[in-house]
Amino acid sequence: MTLDRLEQAPEGSGYERETVPTREDALAVAARQRAAHDGE
């Protein structure tokens, strides 16, 4: 599972990519991203 996230930031665009080996790890990453960026 690969998560790609592109965001526009005041200093320019930012790009983050994270790859994890299992579905369980991917679900944990997704939950962490939702918690960190909810409401943006």
2-40 pLDDT, tens digit each: 667 666 666 766 667 788 999 999 999 989 988 987 766
**Four-residue CA torsion sign, 30, 31, 32, 38:** positive
Q: Which helix (H) or strand (E) holds 9?
A: strand 2-9
Q: Can you tell me the distance from the alpha carbon of 20 to that of 29, in angstroms, rounded to the nearest whole number?
A: 8
Q: What's the pLDDT score for residue 6?
A: 65
Q: What's the pLDDT score for residue 38?
A: 77
Q: What's the pLDDT score for residue 25?
A: 92
Q: What's the pLDDT score for residue 36?
A: 86
Q: How many CA atoms lie within 13 A of 22 on its CB side?
A: 3
Residue ranges per structural domain of the chain: 2-37
Global pTM reads 0.57
